[in-house]
Chains A and B, each alone.
Chain A
Amino acid sequence: MPYSIKVNGVVRTVDVDGDTPLLWVLRDVLGMTGTKFGCGMALCGACTVHMDGNPVRSCITSIDSVGTAAITTIEAVGKTPAGQRIQKAWLDLEVVQCGYCQSGQIMSASALLAGNPHPSDGDIDDAMSGNICRCGTYVRIREAIKQAAQSNG
């Protein structure tokens, strides 16, 4: 049946089974490929998007559970204050290598910073340990979150 969801401020209607993960609606139906597939079981965080500002794994979020929640993806997170600061810090510190997991990393980090302007190392571990980076950019991810937090004032 058709489902209407609000993605990056725009209402989109898709006709898929209700148990279809949001990830595939975004990538294959709506053509928004910035959100990545990594595991399909909420084990790696590559598919992280925001639902009403909270980070969720879109690979296990069924389309019929989204309702009226506002979905934000990597394509639009730069329009949020926290997302913008995180993206800038990611560029300043050259965090990225292959880059495939970084959409998810940035979505998790942006949600962290939006809710916690000055996260401790423990806060960063808690918020970011669900996101795997096979290139091992963790050292720089930690530094970049701290730099973005400092620019928080």
Chain B
Amino acid sequence: MILDHPTSPAAGTGRSLPANDLSRRRFLQAGAAAGGGLMLSLSLPFANGDAEAANADGFAPNAFIRIGRDGQIVLTMPYVEMGQGTYTSIPMLIAEELEVDLKQVRLEHAPPNEKLYANPLLGVQATGNSNAVRGAWQPLRQAGAIARTMLVAAAAKRWNVDPASCRAERGEVLHAPTGRRATYGELAAEAAHMPVPESVALKQPEDFKLIGTPAKRLDTPAKVNGTAVYGIDVRPPGVKIATLAQSPVFGGRLKSVDDAAAKAVKGVRQIVRLDDAVAVVADHMGAAKKGLAALKIEWDDGPHAKLSTEDIARELEQATLKPGAVAQNIGNVDEAMASAVTKVEATYQVPFLAHATMEPMNCTVHLRKDGCEVWVGSQVVARVQAAAAKTAGLPLDKVVVHNHLIGGGFGRRLEIDVVVRAVEIAKHVDGPVKVVWTREEDIQHDMYRPYWYDRLSAGLDAKGMPVAWNHRFAGSSVIARWLPPAFNNGLDPDTTEGAIDLTYALPNFHVEYLRVEPPGIPTAFWRSVGPSHNVFVTESFMDELAAAAKQDPVAYRLALLDKSPRAKAVLELAAEKAGWGRPLPERVGRGVSLQFAFATYMAHVAEVEVSKDGAVRVRRVVCAVDCGTVVNPDTVRAQIQSAVIFGITAALHGEITLKDGRVEQANFDTYQMLRINEAPAIEVHIVQNSEPPGGMGEAGTSAIVPAVTNAVFAATGKRLRKLPIDSAQLKAV
């Protein structure tokens, strides 16, 4: 268990530190850019140390900063913008140390190359796990400082003065005593020949000019006037539009298709039959959808024809009766449990969930004999290239991928099934084809947040405080499929996050995980991944312990946080701002949750009203967050507002169920989203400090859910151990 999270003394404190703690040469190289100017090549930490990607001296760069003769600074990195503000936050890090306006830095999306552009914390080319700013925080500021030092050195040499008498400001080097000045663009070519400094001093937080300011998002203007181009908007010349029906049961096959009526639809060009899907290719999506509706399709449902969610839940429940892989063990739970005065037991369940990104799944492919072009919005562009190459039977270098803005990722666009499908269809089509999934296909052929089943027990001492905590859970490991090397000894760091790293002082603590892959339904990452499940369970159970001890839920938690000052501080702040303890009307309650995940501390207080017929309305949410150094406070607020809505949507409405092997939900009538009339007021309070930045894109989603269900308990006395919230249980008697 991590009681608090000490960081290395150098990290994020702004002290002078070497350009690279281990070997500067392996972290950064400088040279002349093509077309003149200064090029810095960076090797961000933890990336795949692939020998092929490294050049002769063992240097494997995965990010590039180019300062051109025009003074434009271009950063090439593998992160994608999907609404989380990365395209603004990442350039801020460089601009801060380089002493340029944010406007001068442009972030270009990296072309696919798994070896070069691996995400420092994931080891593959992906945007996910709320780690863009976390991974880039230290190296990009160092790179900015190194580039600035080299530009100053170039100016000093040109003017034959001491570099210490020069300073950098707003994209220029100035020599105050003589009033001389030169722009970075003018100095870039000469700077490329300056020695790379052995060490650079990073700014103290109090000297930050950009970091910590609410910088305007750079991607917004095009998104309010209709000119932003998402994957679904691409229109290569001659493109046809296809839509498809895939086997409604996972693992089923296409038996037969009568396409006579579909072919008669005006604008329909072609029907494509695949082993387990059929597609209609047309001049426009209207014709393609009309053609699809006119098809008479027979499916062979295959082995999962009778599968239901209840079958899967029962299998998971049975699995938790046996021991699993030990994910955490502190003290001796068995002994402590035997000596406990009170024992509390509970089981919890969370459902499959779809991503339901607003931009439905789509991918455009132009397959020729000698090459393949792919247009898509993806969180994993190198995997897109590899999947297209494999499906098309082409070498990797014959596949060109154009990545686009993403109309919602949430983990869905970390998968490449949509690309494989599109290439399979493109094999039958002359010219480019855009494959657009209907919303029904998008919901019914998602790859889902796993179903999990949890079994917990705790022992309390005479004062009601926990002396033993035992937690065992079963469900799918997405990591085991998606990143197999990270799955070891029956465990992965993602599935257990939020279960094994509680901030509370729990002297005897034991957690086991059982990997059980459900048949007939694929699983995938979903915003806030492991914590999306674990934090609901652990924070609900902590509330149960407080209730069993007849203590106030906030006071009970605070008593366990003496060794975790950052966690304690956010909990106290959220409770204070929410007016914790103030009287509320009947059937209105406040609930609390505390979370440490994605290297961020967060506490929520939710205020919930339960109507007589059991309908739950979240009226107000107060969030206190400590995510270390805040790069862009407006983005932090926006991400919490967003994540809270996402989490409440899941708590109130989110559930994918199977019947006869088929997903029962299909569109926004049966898979409902929270709407503006249901959205609570959300207050965000940020704790200021200079710790390294924590992740922000996902934390709020997992943290809000138990605050809501704990508030329902406060309002009604009903403990909710299964999601989504079942209003039928909450009717006034």
| A residues whose Cβ falls under 8 Å from a Cβ of B | 16-17, 19-21, 23-25, 27-29, 31-41, 43-44, 46, 73-75, 78, 87, 90-91, 94, 96-103, 106, 124-126, 128-142
Contact = CB atoms under 8 A, between A and B. Distances in A.
A79 B436 CA distance: 31
A137 B629 CA distance: 24
A99 B223 contact: yes
Interface string B322-345: 000000000000000000000000
A68 B283 CA distance: 25
A13 to B, nearest CB: 15
A131 B219 CA distance: 22
Name the residue among B227, B358, B638, B681 with the largest chain A CB count within 10 angstroms: B358
B229 interface: yes
28 contacts: A17-B286, A17-B287, A23-B286, A29-B283, A32-B226, A37-B436, A43-B667, A44-B673, A73-B226, A74-B226, A91-B224, A94-B216, A96-B223, A98-B405, A100-B358, A100-B407, A129-B675, A129-B677, A131-B676, A132-B673, A134-B357, A134-B358, A136-B644, A137-B638, A139-B679, A140-B638, A141-B676, A142-B679
A16 B267 contact: yes
Interface in B682-708: 682
B229 A136 contact: no
Contacts of B408: 98, 100, 134-135
Nearest to A39: B439
A34 B266 contact: no
Contacts of A35: 226
A20 B645 CA distance: 34
A140 B641 contact: yes
B284 interface: yes
Contacts of A34: 225-227
A12 to B, nearest CB: 14
B217 A96 contact: yes
Given A24-B286, A133-B358, A136-B642, A100 B224 contact: no
Nearest to A142: B676
Contacts of B220: 90-91, 94, 96, 99
A133 B356 CA distance: 11
Given A33-B235, A40-B438, A17 B267 contact: yes
A33 B410 CA distance: 23
Interface in B395-415: 405-410
A143 to B, nearest CB: 11
B654 to A, nearest CB: 12
| Cβ-closest 10 pairs across A and B | A34-B226, A136-B645, A100-B407, A97-B83, A99-B223, A98-B83, A28-B284, A24-B286, A74-B226, A125-B677
B644 to A, nearest CB: 7
Contacts of A17: 265-267, 286-287, 290
Contacts of A25: 284, 286
Contact of B359 (A19, A40, A96, A100): A100
Interface in B123-172: none
B221 A91 contact: yes
Given A134-B646, A135-B358, 10 more contacts: A27-B233, A40-B439, A75-B227, A91-B221, A98-B82, A99-B83, A101-B358, A106-B224, A125-B676, A129-B676
A135 B216 contact: no
Contacts of B669: 41, 43
A128 B675 CA distance: 8
Contacts of B286: 16-17, 20-21, 23-25, 28
A45 to B, nearest CB: 10
Contacts of A20: 284, 286-287, 290
A33 B674 CA distance: 26
A138 B440 CA distance: 25
Contacts of B233: 27, 33
Interface string B641-653: 1111110010000
Nearest to B234: A33
A40 B360 CA distance: 11
Contacts of A32: 226
